[in-house]
Amino acid sequence: MGDFKHLVIVKFKDDVVADEIIKGMEKLVSDIDSVKSFEWGHDIESQETLRQGFTHAFSMTFNKKEDFAAFASHPKHLEFSATFSTAIEKFVVLDFPSLLVKPPA
Give the CATH number of the domain where residue 13 resides.
3.30.70.100
In a domain, 77, yes or no: yes
- Residue 90 structural domain: 4-96
In a domain, 102, yes or no: no
The string of pLDDT tens digits covering residues 35-86 is 999 999 999 988 887 889 999 999 999 999 999 999 999 999 999 999 999 9
β-pair partners for 95: 6
In a domain, 104, yes or no: no
β-pair partners for 4: 62, 97
pTM over 0.85: yes
How many independent structural domains does the chain possess? 1
In a domain, 105, yes or no: no
Rounded to the nearest angstrom, the gap between the alpha carbon of residue 45 and the centroid of all alpha carbons in its chain is 19
